[in-house]
Amino acid sequence: MSLNADGAPRRRRGKELENALLDAAWAELTERGYDEFAIDRVATRAGTSRAVLYRRWPGKQDLVRAAVEHNTGEGPAIAPDTGSLRGDVVALLRQTNERRRTLVTVLMTRLGGFYRASGTTLADLAEAGAGDSIMHEVLDRAIERGEVEPGQVSDRIMQLPLHLFRYEALMTLRPVPEQAIEEIVDTIFLPLVHGNR
Amino acid sequence: MSLNADGAPRRRRGKELENALLDAAWAELTERGYDEFAIDRVATRAGTSRAVLYRRWPGKQDLVRAAVEHNTGEGPAIAPDTGSLRGDVVALLRQTNERRRTLVTVLMTRLGGFYRASGTTLADLAEAGAGDSIMHEVLDRAIERGEVEPGQVSDRIMQLPLHLFRYEALMTLRPVPEQAIEEIVDTIFLPLVHGNR
DNA sequence: TATTTGAGATACAGACTGTATCTTATACCA
DNA sequence: TGGTATAAGATACAGTCTGTATCTCAAATA
């Protein structure tokens, strides 16, 4: 039970209490991760009892969700206007970097335990699925055939098709449609490799 | 306890038992998801007791990891050799599509509960961080300025910088370095938009 | 056949969940 | 200002799951 400075019992209500609860939940989430997140501990941390939490959120996932929303809502992003396309896009990415908190924190809380436990990262798992070295092999053969000039293709461009493919697979959690595969290769990868010949 | 056809008690050992355990774990994982995954239930499903599981894996996460590896290991991917760069890359992506199981299943088991609970997908979260519509706005202004010809930039290319950025952020769970941002914009996005002028 | 290994059963303490019930501080209203 | 309604906070309960420990006995090995 929370006490006043003079030791009298004190009862928070409404928004004040709710904020304290969500802040405590958020702290637990970021400190211990989703796997070890317990309503019990949130209540203790907030200096109240579990009943108060259950009165507001039916279960763990609802509370987690509320805590994430409460602590990451930052309003919509604003389109930068620097006067040039390059400047705008660079500014947009920089801005996203700062606002990245939302997504990354959610992912960390969800994946953190698994990462720690397995010593694996998302990138390792992707790597295991289709090693980036394979693109090296493919490119080397293209160079041998004279399709591509040696040293012309940066690492980032070389990995581009796989990265875009995986991004799409991750976002949709579905097989990537054939049409998307061909679009990636024909309108993005090959033009970059061949310098729009 | 497992029984023989004639009702005599029967004890599996070694690989036979281990496969049964991992199959049971996998079934629990795919049917109920990571959140509800319980060693208890795996043991029951495999027709044995928890002690047998704890003898092999120290805890839940280790068992989950082993089950994922056991049920998705398909050996290393083979570099396709179709005789052209385009053919090779398309084949590689198609092949990855079929092998995608590993990554997607791991993610589903990790994120599935959250998705169900929140009604949010990874794409929604990404979208909330920096709406794709912003790139539209940026591009529109570039067209007004005469930097870009109208109708020249496909949706996929328009979203390319954000997608590559997010892919990198997701994989590393770190801020994307300034140098990577500029590389994405200067060596990939702008060349595609301007047709390598 | 004797010995070793480890499967399978069971019991335990502890943590956490979700529900229910009680007292009482606080807000609101007559 | 005093009475009443609301909900905070405490507590108790049954149930599930965890991780550990201990026991018996089936099966592999020598």
Point out the least confidently predicted range of A10-24, B31-45, B115-129, B143-157: B115-129
Three-class DSSP labels, B119-151: CCCHHHHHHHHCCCHHHHHHHHHHHHCCCCCCC
Query: Closest to B81 (Cβ–Cβ): which among A61, A86, A141?
Result: A141
Q: How confident is the model at residue A104 (pLDDT cuts 50, 70, 90)?
A: low
Point out the least confidently predicted range of A12-16, A50-54, A68-72, B4-8: B4-8
Structure tokens at B104: 């997607």
Amino acid whose CA is nearest the C1' of D27:
B11
Distance CA B126, CA B167 (A): 10
Do the chains contact at B111 and A110, CB–CB below 8 Å? yes
Q: Which residues of B149-182 are buried (b: 16+ CB within 10 A; e: fewer)?
A: eeeebeebbbbbbbbbbbbbbbbebebbeeebbe
CB of A1 nearer than 7 A to strand D: yes
Do the chains contact at A77 and B134, CB–CB below 8 Å? yes
Mean pLDDT of chain A: 78
CB of B163 nearer than 7 A to strand D: no
Structure tokens at B83: 């005789």
Q: Which residue has the higher pLDDT, B100 or A147?
A: A147
Q: How confident is the model at residue A79 (pLDDT cuts 50, 70, 90)?
A: confident
The reported pLDDT for the residue numbered B121 is 57
Torsion sign over Cα A90, B194, B184, B130: positive
Q: Percentage of chain A with pLDDT > 70?
A: 72
Q: Which residue has the higher pLDDT, B159 or A39?
A: A39
Q: Which residue has the higher pLDDT, A6 or B195?
A: B195
Do the chains contact at B137 and A79, CB–CB below 8 Å? yes
- Tell me, what DSSP letter sits at residue A186? I
Q: Which of residues 118-147 of B touch strand D (CB under 7 A)?
A: none
Beta-bridge mates of residue B3: B9
What's the CA–C1' distance between A10 and C26, in Å?
A: 9
Q: Percentage of chain B with pLDDT > 90?
A: 25
Structure tokens at B86: 């385009």
Strand C bases within 7 angstroms of protein beta carbons: 6-11, 15-21, 25-27
Tokens 């039970």 appear where?
A1
Distance CA A67, CA A54 (A): 14
Tokens 């990198």 appear where?
B168
User: What's the pLDDT tens digit per position in B8-62?
Assistant: 567 888 888 999 999 999 888 878 877 788 999 999 999 999 999 999 999 888 8
Structure tokens at A34: 């989703």
User: What's the pLDDT tens digit per position in B100-129?
Assistant: 555 555 555 555 555 554 445 555 555 554
What's the CA–C1' distance between A44 and D15, in Å?
A: 22
Reduced to 3 states (helix: H, G, I; strand: E, B; else coil), residue B82 is coil
Q: Percentage of chain B with pLDDT > 70?
A: 72
What's the CA–C1' distance between B139 and C9, in Å?
A: 69
Q: How confident is the model at residue A117 (pLDDT cuts 50, 70, 90)?
A: very low
- Tell me, what DSSP letter sits at residue B9? B
Pick from B59, B32, B58: which is nearest to B45 by CA?
Answer: B32
Nearest chain B residue to A142 by CA distance is B85
Query: Closest to B93 (Cβ–Cβ): which among A107, A121, A181?
Result: A181
CB of B10 nearer than 7 A to strand D: yes
Q: How confident is the model at residue A108 (pLDDT cuts 50, 70, 90)?
A: low
Cβ-count burial of A73 within 10 angstroms (0-12 exposed, 13-18 middle, 19+ buried)? exposed
